[in-house]
Chains A and B, each alone.
Chain A
Amino acid sequence: MINLLKVLYKKEVLDASRDKRSVMAGLYYAIGTPIAMCLLLSVLLQQLTSPEGLKITLINAEQAPSLVAHLKTNEIDSTDDKNDAQLKPITLKISDDYQKNMREGHPATVTLIADKSNDKLGKHISRIERALASYNSEVASLRLISRGIDPSIMRTIAVQTHDEATPDSKGGMFLGIATLSIILTVFYAAMNLAIDTSAGERERNSLSLLLSHPLSSLQIVLAKSAAIATFSMIGLVLILIVSKITYGLVPWEQLGFSITITPTFMLFCFAVCLPIALMSASLQVFVSFMAKSFKEAQSYVTMVLFIPMALSMVTTYDIATDIIQWVPIAAQQYALIEFIKGNPVPVPQLVLSTLITVVLFAVFSWLSSKMLKSEKVVFGL
């Protein structure tokens, strides 16, 4: 039994490894995802931390030199050049009696003219409004001081926030996405191989020849699943290595947290994902055998893989209810996130979900081996 399994497994791995296109398709995912994510993060971080210069049209600027200077310190500038790329369609009109009202201590009118339905302008408008508000309170404070009044009388409560987040726990969302990409590798890296070795094998008529030899259909299914899982795990190792390198290049310090892939995390991840890889392989084999043709299998497998993706998404965006934290994939991803944050790993959830994962692997394998006994499935009748 074991010997035959070894023979079958070796042949599956050899056959699959020569299917260069399918192997590469899986590896592109494993290599490409972390690189793409890091590029995206770097761009995002840059936008968050260094606000771009903002240029608007100022009317009557000479009326309010100190306001204009204040705006300038907030990197809000004015320009008359209509072709300036940084010029936004926002106009700040300073009223003609601005100086007079200022002198007399009356509210001086400043009109902000912009299209508020334009989503792209929203953040610029609120940036100008913030700058105007801070100028407003600055001048008001000075006026109070000049009248001998403590300006703090204007502040009824003083809000203080103590941030308890550690640098690593702050990156929750980013961590979620990083672990999502790692878990999904296990499902997607060997998807083409899984379809090729099951639906493909039937389409090439070698399945019936295989079945006419003295071996059980369960042995065939187990060998196939093991071979597919091997390629999934190769994808996993690859994405971990690429992630380790690329995440090291992201300027995390600007956000006050970091994602570091340590060797211990890589080992932990490997151990947690191994049962998932087996389950994923047996699931894909099962679905592929259910389909009548290679093409049908491709669409079914893609559809079925939405389930793990949804479970993983739920964890990533932290909308999981208490029950979902016990469900396979969600629980394992949760454990990975906690591990990377340096928090204690939720052991009961992890153990139970891993057990369920193994049981699912057994069930899918058994169902596939049952199907291979049906002539309808074998000959695609």
Chain B
Amino acid sequence: MIKVTDLTKKIGDVNALNGLSFSAQNGQITGLLGPNGAGKTTCLRTVFGLLSADSGHTEIDGIDVAKNPMAAKQNLGLFPDPCGLYERLTPREYITFFAQLSGLSSTKAKAATQDVIAKLSMEDIADRRCQGFSQGQRMKTALAQAVVHNPSNVILDEPTRGLDVMSTRILRELLKLLKAQGHCVLFSSHVMQEVAALCDHVVIMVKGKVIAEGSVEQLCEKAGKTTLEEAFIALIGSDEGIAA
């Protein structure tokens, strides 16, 4: 479970987070929806303890990230934007490396890596160096890295960017599987179809603040629209960011 309470964060002169509060429950897929520059990435980085909030706090499974970052990070898997691959390592080496960093022993890490490679059907690229990978191959590798150690919370920053149809379907299946296993899945996106198809709970944020949250149906109802996209525009009050 991820709980964010009243976060504020100033980067330069911009209030990137401005009293942000929401929570993402176990066994649910929570979508963080917002136009470009809404503070989605800043929010996720704060959850990871990479940025420290000016005020407010973040809890992962009840552990305060600021107070006990090591224990909090133990229960997290991160799919970052950009991917942060090591170009000279193969996906197998890359995934095993991060599995070990998350606390798995060498043998367990290797077995877990083999599992996740099979699950994401990436055997064909598993032993090639990441250099020259297509965007989709990069995303798969990063995704495998995020879930290899079977963390109770998985955070994904724009996970569908650059994926082809097949890979998007694999990603969807994987997220649904994580949900069925009782994991807490939190992802940020600005692709409406993706959010509408996957999320049990949608958090809409603009300028560092939550302006509406609930299930897709609840949001549509609240805005009096039939699709999430129209509801989204109605709720944020402009079409800013939709073009992106």
- A213, B98: Cβ atoms closer than 8 Å: yes
19 A-B pairs (CB sep. < 8 Å) = A7-B97, A7-B101, A11-B86, A11-B93, A14-B93, A205-B80, A206-B84, A206-B86, A207-B84, A208-B50, A208-B80, A209-B84, A209-B98, A209-B145, A212-B48, A213-B102, A215-B101, A375-B50, A375-B51
Considering only CB atoms, which chain A residue lies closest to B9 in the complex? A375
**Cβ of B224: which chain A residues have Cβ within 8 Å of it?**
none
Within B75-89, the residues touching A (CB, 8 Å) are 76, 78, 80, 82-89
The contact string, 1 if C-beta is below 8 Å from chain B, for chain A 199-220, is 0000011111111111110000
- Residue B166, interface by CB 8 Å: no
- A211, B84: Cβ atoms closer than 8 Å: no
- Residue A165, interface by CB 8 Å: no
- B86, A214: Cβ atoms closer than 8 Å: no
- Residue A18, interface by CB 8 Å: yes
- B89, A211: Cβ atoms closer than 8 Å: no
Closest CB-CB distance, B64 to chain A, in whole Å? 15
- Residue B49, interface by CB 8 Å: yes
- A214, B88: Cβ atoms closer than 8 Å: no
**Cβ of A379: which chain B residues have Cβ within 8 Å of it?**
50
Q: How far is the CA of A214 from the CA of B98 in the complex (A)?
A: 10
Q: How far is the CA of A216 from the CA of B86 in the complex (A)?
A: 20
- Residue B15, interface by CB 8 Å: no
- Residue A96, interface by CB 8 Å: no
| Most chain B CB inside 10 Å of its own CB: which residue of A213, A215, A378 | A213
- Residue A307, interface by CB 8 Å: no
- B97, A212: Cβ atoms closer than 8 Å: no
| Most chain B CB inside 10 Å of its own CB: which residue of A7, A204, A216 | A7
- Across the interface, A15 reaches (CB within 8 A) one of B50, B69, B86, namely B86
- Residue A144, interface by CB 8 Å: no
- Residue A381, interface by CB 8 Å: yes
* Interface secondary structure of A, over-half rule: helix
**Cβ of B103: which chain A residues have Cβ within 8 Å of it?**
214
Q: How far is the CA of A211 from the CA of B86 in the complex (A)?
A: 14
- A205, B86: Cβ atoms closer than 8 Å: no
- Residue B70, interface by CB 8 Å: yes
**Cβ of A204: which chain B residues have Cβ within 8 Å of it?**
84-87
Sample of 12 further A-B pairs with CB below 8 A, known A19-B88, A204-B86, A381-B11: A4-B101, A7-B97, A11-B97, A14-B93, A18-B88, A205-B83, A206-B85, A207-B84, A209-B80, A214-B71, A216-B70, A375-B52
**Cβ of A212: which chain B residues have Cβ within 8 Å of it?**
48-50, 73, 76, 78, 80
The contact string, 1 if C-beta is below 8 Å from chain A, for chain B 96-108, is 0110111100000
Closest CB-CB distance, B53 to chain A, in whole Å? 11
Closest CB-CB distance, B182 to chain A, in whole Å? 21
**Cβ of A214: which chain B residues have Cβ within 8 Å of it?**
69-71, 73-74, 101-103
The contact string, 1 if C-beta is below 8 Å from chain B, for chain A 370-381, is 000001001101
Within B8-34, the residues touching A (CB, 8 Å) are 11-12
**Cβ of B93: which chain A residues have Cβ within 8 Å of it?**
11, 14
**Cβ of A213: which chain B residues have Cβ within 8 Å of it?**
73, 98, 101-102
**Cβ of A15: which chain B residues have Cβ within 8 Å of it?**
86, 88-89
Task: Using known A-B contacts A204-B87, A206-B85, determine if residue A378 contacts B101 with beta carbons closer than 8 Å.
Answer: no
**Cβ of B87: which chain A residues have Cβ within 8 Å of it?**
204
Q: How far is the CA of A208 from the CA of B142 in the complex (A)?
A: 13
Q: How far is the CA of A79 from the CA of B76 in the complex (A)?
A: 90
**Cβ of B129: which chain A residues have Cβ within 8 Å of it?**
18
| Most chain B CB inside 10 Å of its own CB: which residue of A11, A15, A214, A375 | A214
Considering only CB atoms, which chain B residue lies closest to A212 in the complex? B48
- A378, B50: Cβ atoms closer than 8 Å: yes
The contact string, 1 if C-beta is below 8 Å from chain A, for chain B 135-164, is 000000000010000000000000000000
Q: How far is the CA of A205 from the CA of B102 in the complex (A)?
A: 19
Considering only CB atoms, which chain B residue lies closest to A18 in the complex? B88
Considering only CB atoms, which chain A residue lies closest to B48 in the complex? A212
Q: How far is the CA of A211 from the CA of B50 in the complex (A)?
A: 7
The contact string, 1 if C-beta is below 8 Å from chain A, for chain B 201-228, is 0000000000000000000000000000
Closest CB-CB distance, B153 to chain A, in whole Å? 12
Q: How far is the CA of A8 from the CA of B101 in the complex (A)?
A: 8
Q: How far is the CA of A206 from the CA of B82 in the complex (A)?
A: 9
Within B182-216, the residues touching A (CB, 8 Å) are none
